[in-house]
């Protein structure tokens, strides 16, 4: 997987469209980006070209149109982006992130329960190893 992944908001929008269903033609992506982002055909085309240059997406020639794909797995991109954010904003400390939310009363009961379940699962995995 490409190591230097840093998607901007526009790139995320295109990647989400491809992660939902791929391949997609240029016109399918143009229509979707017009609905979601208000982009013109040329804006979508420019974004696709730039993302190809970064190796985030690729295309294959179809019978009638190019078919766009991504080989990047959503889960791996999310992990890379999360690690990058944690390093920039919290010096890599997940604990500092959670503490910031807790100290500012930003965690709901549901969030707290989810965190407990995640930590319990992490403990079980650690014990297995």
Using the predicted structure, report yes or no on whether residue 29 has a pLDDT greater than 90: yes
Q: Are strands 66-69 and 24-25 parallel, antiparallel or unpaired?
A: antiparallel
**Tens of pLDDT along 68-104?**
999 999 999 999 989 988 999 999 899 999 999 999 9
Using the predicted structure, report yes or no on whether residue 4 has a pLDDT greater than 80: no
> Burial code of 85-104, b = ≥16 C-beta within 10 A, e = fewer?
eeeeeeeeeeeebeeeeeee
Using the predicted structure, report yes or no on whether residue 18 has a pLDDT greater than 80: yes
The residues spanned by each domain of the chain are: 1-91, 93-129
Domain made up of 1-91: CATH architecture: Orthogonal Bundle (1.10)
CA–CA gap between residue 118 and residue 110 (Å, rounded)? 12
Share of the chain above pLDDT 90, in %: 83
Using the predicted structure, report yes or no on whether residue 54 has a pLDDT greater than 90: yes
CA dihedral 32, 13, 49, 72 (to 10 degrees): -120
Using the predicted structure, report yes or no on whether residue 120 has a pLDDT greater than 90: yes
Both tokens of 48, joined, read 């696709």
CA–CA gap between residue 115 and residue 63 (Å, rounded)? 48
Q: How many helices (DSSP H) and strands (DSSP E) are in the chain? A: 6, 3
Using the predicted structure, report yes or no on whether residue 63 has a pLDDT greater than 80: yes
pLDDT score for 3: 62
Of 83, 109, 105, which Cα lies nearest the Cα of 94? 83
């Amino acid at each position: 997987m490409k190591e230097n992944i840093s998607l901007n908001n526009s790139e995320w929008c295109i990647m989400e469209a491809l992660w939902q269903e791929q391949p997609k033609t240029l016109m399918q992506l143009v229509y979707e980006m017009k609905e979601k982002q208000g982009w013109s055909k040329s804006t979508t085309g420019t974004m696709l070209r730039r993302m190809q240059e970064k190796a985030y997406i690729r295309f294959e020639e179809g019978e009638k149109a190019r078919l766009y794909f991504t080989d990047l797995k959503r889960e791996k991109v999310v992990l890379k982006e999360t690690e990058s954010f944690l390093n920039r904003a919290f010096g890599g400390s997940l604990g500092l992130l959670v503490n910031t939310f807790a100290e500012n009363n930003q965690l709901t009961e549901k969030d707290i329960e989810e965190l407990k379940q995640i930590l319990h699962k992490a403990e079980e995995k650690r014990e297995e190893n």
